[in-house]
Structure 1
Amino acid sequence: MKDSWGREIDYLRISLTESCNLRCIYCMPEGSAPKTCGEVLTKENIFAIVEAGVELNIKKIRLTGGEPLLRQDIVELVKGIKDRGIEKIYITTNGILLADKIEDLKNTGLDGVNISLDTLDREQFASITRGGELEKVLVGIKKSLNLNLEVKINSVIIKDINENAIDDLVKLTVDNKLDVRFIELMPIGQGKNFTGINNSEIYNRLEKNFGFDRDYKEIKGVSTYYKLQNSKGKIGFISPINSCFCETCNKIRLTSDGVIKRCLNTKGNINIKEYLDKNIGKDEIKEILKKEIFNKPEKHLFGKENEAEEMKNMNAIGG
């Protein structure tokens, strides 16, 4: 299924909940009150969307949140999605509950996990996440690697907050088969209250402190990857602010309450859950998805006047 700009859209991100067991400073207000379980997509809703998506050539699904591992039916969801013909299924998580659930998830079809991790300093981690325990995340990462899952670390570097964490995060790629990806802070929700570090600055810092393997560079989706000399893992850069990657965007998003998002920073136009709860058929679901995919915008509008700008916090979008 192609959008009106000729991009092949084969990737669907589904948010399972707005709830989270952390309150990261750039993501959620400290006293926020997420939606209750009765307002989110049900397991049956999700399976209906997946079945229609497969027929539109959706090949990859990522389950996000909030914190997706808070869903009690997470293992059933992974199994059911994989059984319906999706080629690859991934989860993005803060990692706090990962160690307890990763083996069951792997056994039911999970292909990989992205862990949000902005520092390896315990006190700094607790400060950024407002109380998170770093050790739990590290154990989850180790278990995931031992299960031979694809593991990616997603890191947001914020001026005057965690710039000192860059080198330690990168060193994880030397002896571990994982990717550390630096994602530029996006001016969405709480993110507007902070100043992110340009990825070109991080690249130049790493080139000076470590040096890159000159024979390796890979562009995959919205990420550009490099490697340190003789490292097992890779270093990725996702740069929506410094270098618009929209021409390679291959995804649409679904919020936990059913809103289809054509673009991360643009409000959704339709809530598919309202139709699913009326028991519409697969062909009708496909028509809704086809229309939303076809009408994806050419590019995001970060930093520009945009009357359709998304004003929600990232946990409510499914970042």
Structure 2
Amino acid sequence: MLFDGFGRKIDYLRISVTDRCNLSCFYCRKNGIEGFPRNEILTFEEIEFIVDIFKNEFEIKKLRLTGGEPLMRKGIDSLICRLCSKGLSVNLTTNGILLFKFAKFLAEQGIGVNLSLDTLNHNKFKFITGFDFLDYVLDGLEQFLSNGGNLKINTVVLKGVNDDEIFDLIDFAGKKGVEIRFIEFMPFVGKDVWSSYFVSEDEIKSRIERKGNLVFLGNGSSTARVYLFDNRVRIGFISTVTRPFCDSCSRIRITSDGKIVLCMFDDRGYSLKKFLRPEFDGDALRKFIIDIVKKKPRGFVDLKDKMAKFEMIKLGG
């Protein structure tokens, strides 16, 4: 097992497989940002080696693939098959643009999908993402669910943009029989932009409770608190800013260029490349991970006064 310096058990690994994306969401990608050189991106063999270390040495069983947009990575289905064969719980976060191409495969593999969907309005979708690809997202969602897939909707609530769609999105999730999770906009962009669009969990809940009851069901994960609305729709809240969950944080991230990032708001990344290239060194990597994880900061509660170093598109959602 793996523990950090605060005694928190680390049992959740998130790996970004690419920093490329087919959208340009303003809260994720800064203007002019360049992608990693392709030769710096971890190969599938390197990813699998890292996962084996975490699984076999540290008993980590929960894995999430992120990006960028992970479904843009060529051969991603092959990697998923290899990871699933290890007995891991493999999940994936996607913007849904390419989901229709992988819907049947992902459902058959038992991959849990978190789908980013901030709006049901075409104009707003283009404003947020830079493109009007909403129909692709909705088509992918339908195909994945029709194949029996397990899906949750992730919605970043933005003041003056989509906060008037809260009930439309709840109704949509209810009709599809899926959980929707409202996520507080995090300060990964300039503070002026962040403060202009930020909507707190309390404000979202207050609006919802004017139209129906919210019954607390418990913590759906280390990050989300889940409620039942109107006895029909599961609603989760992920509120890093107003209700940080740092004391129960069990995760670390690995960027697509092979850096361990211990906290989304830390300004450091620790490269794993020297243990992977020119050849694998499992013993040294294991010892390195143990030492580095001890440096995991308490979290946003201590780092909230400084902007995160990593753009979301490079960090992995």
Normalised by the size of structure 1, how large is the TM-score? 0.92
Describe how 1:1-319 pairs up with structure 2 within 5 A: 1-55=2-56, 56-86=58-88, 88-107=89-108, 109-189=109-189, 193-194=193-194, 195-212=197-214, 214=215, 216-219=216-219, 220-231=221-232, 233-300=233-300, 301-305=302-306, 310-319=308-317
TM-aligned CA deviation for residue 30 of structure 1? 4.6
CA separation of 1:192 and 1:248: change in aligned 2, threshold 3 A = farther
Distance 1:136 1:312, change over 3 A: same
Q: 1:161–1:31: structure 2 CA closer, same or farther, 3 Å change rule?
A: same
Q: CA RMSD in A?
A: 1.8
* DSSP 3-state at the match of 1:152: strand
Q: Which ranges in structure 1 are unaligned for 5 or more consecutive residues?
A: none
Q: From the superposition, tell whether residues 68 and 291 of structure 1 become closer, same or farther in structure 2 (CA, over 3 Å).
A: same
Distance 2:279 2:290 in 1: 18
The offset of 1:286, in angstroms, is 1.7
Shift of 1:246: 0.7
Partners in 2 of 1:126 and 1:260 — Cα distance?
33
Q: String of CA shifts for 1:81-112, please: whole Å, max 9, x gaps.
A: 112232x11111100000111222333x3421
Q: Secondary structure at the match of 1:172?
A: helix
Aligned length: 311
Note the alpha carbon deviations across 1:136-185, whole angstroms, 9 max, x for none. Answer: 11111112222222211111111222211211111123232311111111
SS of the residue 1:227 aligns to: strand
Change (3 A) 1:110 1:16: farther
SS of the counterpart of 1:69?
helix
Indicate if the aligned counterparts of 2:107 and 2:150 stay in contact, CA closer than 8 A. Answer: no
Measure how far apart 1:80 and its partner are: 1.1
Quote how far apart the aligned CAs of 1:302 are.
Answer: 4.5
Q: How far off its partner does 1:247 sit?
A: 1.3
Give the Cα–Cα distance (whole angstroms) in 1 for the partners of residues 134 and 67 of structure 2: 19
Question: What SS class does the counterpart of residue 124 from structure 1 fall into?
Answer: helix
Q: Deviations over 1:233-279 (max 9, x none)?
A: 41010011111111121100001101100101113342102321132
Q: Aligned equivalents of 2:252 and 2:276: distance in 1?
A: 18
Residues 185 and 198, structure 2, Cα contact 8 Å, conserved in 1: yes
Query: In the aligned structure 2, how far is the partner of 1:190 from the partner of 1:104?
Result: 39
| Distance 1:248-1:49 versus aligned 2 partners, 3 A rule | same
How far did residue 190 of structure 1 move? Answer: 5.8
1:302–1:181 Cα change, 3 Å:
farther
Question: Which amino acid in structure 1 is aligned with residue 128 of structure 2?
Answer: I
Residue 26 of structure 2 aligns to a residue in which SS? Answer: coil
User: Residue type matched to 1:244 in 2?
Assistant: P
Q: 1:207 to 1:101 in 2, by over 3 A?
A: same
CA distance in 1, matches of 2:191, 2:274: 30
The code of the aligned residue for 1:154 comes to N
- Between the aligned residues of both structures, percent identity stands at 35
C-alpha contact (below 8 Å) 2:259/2:272 kept by paired residues: yes
1:198-218: per-residue Cα shift (whole Å, max 9, x none)?
111001110112322x3x421
1:190–1:313 contact (8 Å) kept in structure 2: no
Q: TM-score, length-normalised on structure 2?
A: 0.92
- 1:135 deviation in Å? 1.1
CA distance in 1, matches of 2:198, 2:131: 22
Deviation readout 1:36-86 (Å, 9 max, x if unpaired):
432211101100001001020111111111111110110011111112232
For the residues of structure 2 that align with 1:268 and 1:259, how far apart are their CA atoms?
9
Deviations 1:281-305 (A, max 9, x none): 3222222222232321122234325
* Matched letter for residue 315 of structure 1: I
Q: State the SS of the aligned residue for 1:105.
A: helix
